Amino acid sequence: MRKMLVTALLLTLPALVNAGRLIRIPMNTDSDFTLVRDMGYEVTAGSRRDGWVDVMVNQRFVDETLARYPEAKLLPLEWSELLPVSETDSRNEMGYYYGPNENAAFWATLAAGSDMVDTPTSYGTSFQGRDLYFVRITNAPAGAPAILFTSLTHAREPGGNSVLIDWAQWLTTEYGSDTMATFILNNAQIYIVPIVNPDGYEYNNPNGGNQRKNMNYTVPVASSGIDLNRNYSFMWGYDDSGSSPDPYSETYRGESALSESETLAETQWIDSIQPLGGFHYHTYGGLLLYPYGYNNSPTPHQSTFQGWAAQMTELNGYEYGRCGEILYDVNGDAVDWSYGASTHSPMLFYTPEVDDAGFWGSQNDTTAIVTNNAECRYMNKLLCMNLLSMAGIGEETSAQFDGAAFGITLQSNPVSAVLGYTVTGASSASVSILDVAGRVVAAPSDGSWVIPENMQNGVYFIRAESGNKAATERFTVLR
């Protein structure tokens, strides 16, 4: 039955008109890099540092492109489209990625199985009338800070969605045993929007290929949707290179800022929950991007964005920076809006570009998906710990006696190898490291403490005492 359906769709769906191939072109100089885009190629990923750029080319232009760039490499077909599943294959909608219906089932099941997970809740309706929904996971008191994760703003980028499914599963499964999962859910409201662009995602189901934009075909009739990640209202349409005024372009920004129901509903909802920050997930390339994208200028939070990015990418080696440093300037995107829009104070958002194999390349490869998820889970954890620590959660109030400014300051937090600390307000103090159960695990004395190799990742305390004064700070071990 299923196979018949797939065959029928193959014959009738207009999606195949869009069918394309990804080609990787080596780039040596900066002008090479911009030349490719100026020739009209659709750039899907790239890195100035590593000297490559991928372009999506209509099947008809593959030979011509390969002739123009003799060093270029045609990337595997499954990087750019979902291939039909065989009759014996147990995979469902979109290979090992989660399709639209599998997402709905996953989130409903997760909510049914845990008091900490709210039933998926609507925040609006898409252009074609589909539900736009979020899921909240928390065990924190009302009013605890919000942290937001989104994916599938671009409908052909399911790798980010897999990351968020893994993240939600990890948080709820490990709560109560992993100290970091416990700490995060006890102190934050984790919000997840798994599918920002449900119409485009449904269009790609089961093998429509590379629809990126939403499904608003009305302006003009022949166009193929609006790029939601160029439609946000901060610096919308700043110039024509960071977004396009051409409806046929894959970066078409729409007729006006927030013209699309998907972006309008999402931004109004985000303003209502006021997250501290978060990740707007995309694929691919293995990058971690932060604002400003529109003109490649540093924000007032540049050192925070950069410092956290360096820390978060320690494990996966993702290249980090502003979009314009790594690839090109981008205007009207979600990260710039999250940081810069006047409707809220700055929210510290990044765009991770998951290091997937193109858009659909892991469709047959659970190992690759699991690896990507684990690498990004580490970034998710670290981001939450950093945001909560910045909000004052995680810094225990130092007990004050005698009016003296007795305290303990950490050089960095979270820590991976060595915890550096300074005790102020006393000439000598005894220092101890405690686990969350209050057991003393070490007693350092010289301002630094090497984390033992066998120590579990998680939340710990460092406590300093001198006479009748005591101060405690919370820190996280994360490797």
Positions touching Zn ion (CB under 5 A) are: 154, 157, 282
Burial class of residue 64 in the structure, from the number of CB atoms within 10 Å of its CB (0-12 exposed, 13-18 middle, 19+ buried) = exposed
CB 97 within 8 A of CB 45: no
Nearer to Zn ion, 24 or 282 (CB): 282
Nearer to Zn ion, 276 or 289 (CB): 289
The rounded distance, in Å, linking the Cα atoms of 246 and 237 is 12
CB 290 within 8 A of CB 350: yes
Closest CA to 423 of 361, 475, 385, 473: 473
The rounded distance, in Å, linking the Cα atoms of 455 and 98 is 35
Tokens of 407: 């305290």
Tokens of 24: 């990787």
Nearer to Zn ion, 44 or 187 (CB): 44
Nearer to Zn ion, 349 or 449 (CB): 349
Amino acid 199 reads D
Q: How far is the CB of 157 from Zn ion (least distance, A)?
A: 5
Q: How far is the CB of 195 from Zn ion (least distance, A)?
A: 13
Q: How far is the CB of 193 from Zn ion (least distance, A)?
A: 14
Q: How far is the CB of 321 from Zn ion (least distance, A)?
A: 17
Q: How far is the CB of 283 from Zn ion (least distance, A)?
A: 7
Nearer to Zn ion, 54 or 157 (CB): 157
Nearer to Zn ion, 78 or 333 (CB): 333
- Please give the span between the terminal C-alpha atoms of the chain, in angstroms, as a whole number: 48
* Torsion angles phi and psi, residue 150, rounded to 5: -130, 160
Q: How far is the CB of 353 from Zn ion (least distance, A)?
A: 7
Q: How far is the CB of 326 from Zn ion (least distance, A)?
A: 14
127-130, Cβ contacts within 8 angstroms, sequence gap of 24 or more: 127/199, 127/214, 127/215, 127/216, 127/260, 127/261, 127/262, 128/199, 128/202, 128/215, 130/198, 130/199, 130/202
Which residues on adjacent β-strands are paired with residue 217?
none
Beta strands in 48-120 (DSSP E): 52-58, 73-74
Q: How far is the CB of 409 from Zn ion (least distance, A)?
A: 40
Nearer to Zn ion, 289 or 393 (CB): 289
Nearer to Zn ion, 288 or 433 (CB): 288
Rg (the chain; Cα; Å): 24
Q: How far is the CB of 156 from Zn ion (least distance, A)?
A: 8
Q: How far is the CB of 228 from Zn ion (least distance, A)?
A: 9
DSSP 263-331: HHHHHHHHHHH--SEEEE-EESSSEEEES--SS-PPPTTHHHHHHHHHHHTTTT--EEEEHHHHS----
Nearer to Zn ion, 52 or 461 (CB): 52
Nearer to Zn ion, 81 or 157 (CB): 157
Helix (H, G, I), strand (E, B) or coil at 478: coil
Tokens of 319: 């290249």
